[in-house]
Amino acid sequence: MSDAVPSSPASSPVRPGRRVALVTGGTAGIGHEFARRLADRGHDLVLVARDADRLDDVAQELATAYGVAVETLVADLTDRAQLAAVERRLADPDRPVDLLVNNAGFGLKRPFLANDVEDEQAMLDVLVTAVMRLSHAALGAMAGRGSGGVINVSSVAAFLPRGTYSAAKAWVNSFGEWAAEEYRPQGVTVTTLCPGFTRTEFHARMGVSRDSAPEFLWLDADFLVEQALADFDKGKVLSVPGASYKAIAGASRAIPRGVLQRFQRLGRR
């Protein structure tokens, strides 16, 4: 296994004294929108993704549009050695990261037993293990400095019985809610973002059609990230953008699990 490596030629080191945000999965969808919004706020960026060419393209795009420095790390977060390289970047005391956005993720369309167990393991590695290890590296550095923030991208699926994806996101919610209270006294804000169906590449990569869920349930990534950052700025523990999803999250606590499970195929056709 090989360490994550800086991409080139677009990658450039972040500048001393600038606010820095590290975004995993920062080249597409929600992650790209986070990177764009944070660059617009004046953050230098560290972008992490698997596709070196796409990383270069996005780094050049954001550097040109917003005048920020964009450092890139090519890393497959299922590879423990490459994940460790990202951990080291987060923990580096000489190059502090002010905000970590744990966004990278993917889903599996088929039911649990229809999937190869290695595919299930890879999903668990990205959705849970990477979030845990990167949060550990970031929180250690931030708590030591007395400042910083983490946004963990979870899902409304965390509130619903929807197989191993749902179970992994429930872990993210539980961890994030605990960490928010644990590290708030040390100057660190932890917000867990729970998106619903969002117009990105995510579902297309799963092989899921857009009409597998009602149109009114689909959100745009720019709205989602705008709401998430507003909630983060307010120090909110949970961010659930969209009135429909706030209602779903609330109702999930009262509706019997057996009833909720009947709708687990929604958004997977």
pLDDT digits (tens, 9 = 90+) for 50-108: 999 999 999 999 999 999 999 999 999 999 999 999 999 999 999 999 999 999 999 99
Name the residue range of residue 236's domain: 5-261
Tokens 């987060």 sit on residue: 90
167 found inside a domain: yes
The answer to whether residues 233 and 189 touch, using CB atoms and an 8 Å cutoff, is: no
How many CA atoms are closer than 13 Å to the CA of 77, on its beta-carbon side?
26
262 vs 41, 116, 202, 259, CA distance in Å? 43, 24, 23, 6
Domain count along the chain:
1
How many other CB atoms are there within 10 angstroms of residue 201's CB atom? Answer: 12
d(CA 9, CA 144): 33
33 found inside a domain: yes
Least reliable range by pLDDT among 17-21, 48-52, 83-87, 198-202 = 198-202
Q: Is 183 an annotated catalytic residue?
A: no
64: domain CATH number? 3.40.50.720
- The mean pLDDT value for 107-133 works out to 96
197 found inside a domain: yes
pLDDT for 183 equals 98
Summarize pLDDT for 134-173 with one digit per residue, the tens: 999 999 999 999 999 999 999 999 998 879 999 999 999 9
Q: Which residues contact 115 (CB under 8 A, 6 or more apart)?
A: 108
Q: What does the DSSP assignment read for the chain?
A: ----EE--SS--PPPTTS-EEEEETTTSHHHHHHHHHHHHTT-EEEEEES-HHHHHHHHHHHHHHH---EEEEE--TTSHHHHHHHHHHHH-TTS--SEEEE-------S-GGGS-HHHHHHHHIIIIIHHHHHHHHHHHHHHHHT-EEEEEE--GGGGS--HHHHHHHHHHHHHHHHHHHHHGGGTEEEEEE---SBSSSHHHHHT--GGGS-GGG-B-HHHHHHHHHHHHHTT-SEE--SHHHHHHHHHTTTS-HHHHHTTTTTT--
Beta-strand pair 5-6/70-74 = antiparallel
58 found inside a domain: yes
49 found inside a domain: yes
Beta-strand pair 148-153/99-102 = parallel
254 found inside a domain: yes
269 found inside a domain: no
**Catalytic entry in 66, 165, 183, 245:** 165
Q: How confident is the model at residue 175 (pLDDT cuts 50, 70, 90)?
A: very high
Summarize pLDDT for 237-251 with one digit per residue, the tens: 999 999 988 998 887
268 found inside a domain: no
